[in-house]
Chains A and B, each alone.
Chain A
Amino acid sequence: MEIRITLPLTQEKLRALKAGDSCLLNGVMYTGRDAAHKRLFELIKEGKELPVDIKDSTFYFVGPTPKKQGEAIGSAGPTTSYRMDAYSPALIALGQTGMIGKGTRSESVIEAMKTYGAVYFGAIGGCGALLSKCIKKCEVVAYEDLGTEAIHRLEVEDFPVVVVIDSQGNNLYKTGRETYLKSVMEDK
């Protein structure tokens, strides 16, 4: 069963999510990957204002392909998240509640998620054509000079993700593997 969630992801909504839950996200999220995160982080360090409202925001780690005429966006699957690990704790401390990517996160990111309340979702890596169908609108809101790495505002409908790490720190990358290996042992 999929859990339908309307963004923004408030503390109340995210506390109910558990690692392994399949969700369909609806509403507004922002894109950001290496270069945009670096710029946001520098602004935070300097105590300056950020170009987007971070409170209760969800960031999708993605660098889409250019769109063709008639499309809202090109292919748009997740990029590997650990490259954002150096920057994510600072954004979570400012109120970011959702991150979408693929792959492992560092202990310091998970600690920040537990302390401030945030969820890490996985989208299926390498399924950019499929995922783009759930993105209805896409516009650049900051750092246009970064091209694909600019911050885009996305409007999504039933965007499929899985809770990989929940706000208690439960991690599907550990439990999923254990569950599978246990099921194989039982079959033997």
Chain B
Amino acid sequence: MAEEPLKRELANDEALAEEVADEHERRALEKTWGDEPGFWGWLASTNHKTVGKRFIYTAFGFFILAGILAVLMRVQLARPESTFLNPDLYNQIFTMHGTTMMFLFAVPVMEAVAVFILPLMLGARNIAFPRLNAFGYWVYLFGGIMLWVAFVMNVGPDAGWFAYVPLSGPEYGAGKRADFWAQMITFTEVSALVVATEIITTFFKLRAPGMSLNRVPIYCWSVLVMAFMVFFAMPTIAWASACLMMDRLIGTHFFNPAEGGDPLLWQHLFWFFGHPEVYIIFIPGTGFVSTILSTFSRRPIFGYTALVLSLVSTGFIGFGLWVHHMFATGLPRLGESFFTGATIMIAIPSGVQIFCWIATLWGGRPRFKSPMMFVLGFFFIFVIGGMTGVMQGAVPVDLQVHDTYFVVAHFHYVLIGGAVFPLFGAFHYWFPKVTGRMLGEKLGHLTFWVMFVGFNLTFFPMHILGLRGMPRRVYTYQPHLGWGDLNLLASAGGVLLTLGVLLFIVNALRSLRAGVLASDNPWGAATLEWATTSPPPAYNFLYPPTVDSRDTLWTQPADQPVVVGLRSDVREVLVTRTLDAEPDLKAEFPDSSIWPLLAALATTAMFIGTIFTPWAFPVGMVPIFATLTGWFWPKKRQAEERPPEEVKQKHGKRYYKLRGQES
């Protein structure tokens, strides 16, 4: 062969020999970890980057849909006594807007970014439980589609995003509208919980050697706190929505006061979930902020330990605040005082974070690139939102502004300021890593300014409207009330905000086609996702990295060790110890598979069926169980190839004898 002399020559040169070995490894890993080609392979993918991208695009799609609904509402409210939307459609639209934004955009998109970024940042080859990850995505997608199909067919929920009983109960909520809402909760809750499981396991078990807990990047801590909050918040809403469906379908009386039930039970259950939900959305947002600030200030984040502790304590305190949504229900005075105290206390960890960020900026050499601009915008908006939040923690203020546009203004400042601006910062920051191309910087700045001005124009006037008595969720108002001008201003701001989002889409599409090619680490950042190519290969790292500090790419020597000895012919990953991340086990991840999709379809059939008949529950369990069995059943050939070394050591010949006899 002509290759032979060539090979010999290469082997003389040590560096070239290494390159040949690397190329060999690269091909093997590509074959092992890559998605299968074609449509089937696309459906079967369990790669966290493929699934993560899908997740992000889908969540962004729902963001656009919910944004369109917001525009429709602003058109309706731009002038008094408008007849653009009728009251019934308006009810469906504001309910769909809130529901879609909270359940189909905000929580999923935060998890989606984590699905993509977390394994890279920790130096792992894939997320833990990759098939579960694919399943989580499909269930989310189908749940979202179900809700929107229902809406298009005029069966959209219409009782607000928190679906208070009795309005959503069997007595007043006729038809199937509230059922679709309640079942959408089940879909998104299953999806959120499985992704949270993956995040927690990845965080604790798949970190690069050397990344002891005190070296984990802040962003990873923030998604860990988010995942734990999902664990403790989601079961409550799942239980609540199950009770609501049962009240509506099989005649239980959980919320029926005539038979010993209690509508306030719904409010407790909903807000025990609903308040932490806000933190589930905004804590990863603060993770983006810390990451972007550190990179663009060109220094390690100030107060790492304080930041981690304040994230964790925000997570805990977040569960002790739910009653502040119920001050108007006539609870005992002492209870109200307690929850006022707790609500104001949340300002402490938030304040700690803000001071750490200011100190980081202060001691750094900031570069005002587009991701950084969104972070600065976040500061401004979020501080206003936080302050109006503390105001409403006081019961008298809350009673005054309850159910007015003041509340609408407040939570849009918190959610858009605390989550959407950092998220757009994160889009601009990680776009080169995800796509391999840089986003246009000029257009990025323009996007920021248009969004920032548009946002404040839209929502600041709502504070004043609320103080002037305009209630939320009214489809129109009379001219003599004097709310027309500020509403017109808010609607004009809405146009600008929409334009800002469109600019981002244009920028992204243009950059995807013709953007500057991104290097591995275009921002000069410190975390591991920048230690591989942009975009990363299917297996993430040719040799899994190790780290020597929190900001490892800034501090590590050129010959920082890598991990070798993992098989490249199967999807073998390194499992490290929980606290110090020392190598502990080699685990084999399953191949790509169509079963998660089939299981998600079976689950969808059961969930949608139970909207119409309780029998769909037992009957629907059969295909779910069948698909799950298919999912977990190992492929015989592969299982036989797995060398059970430890089993052999224990049993020696006896093991094989046993096996020979019985299989």
Are both chains from one complex? no
Q: Which residues of B contact A (CB under 8 A)?
A: none
Q: Which residues of A contact B (CB under 8 A)?
A: none
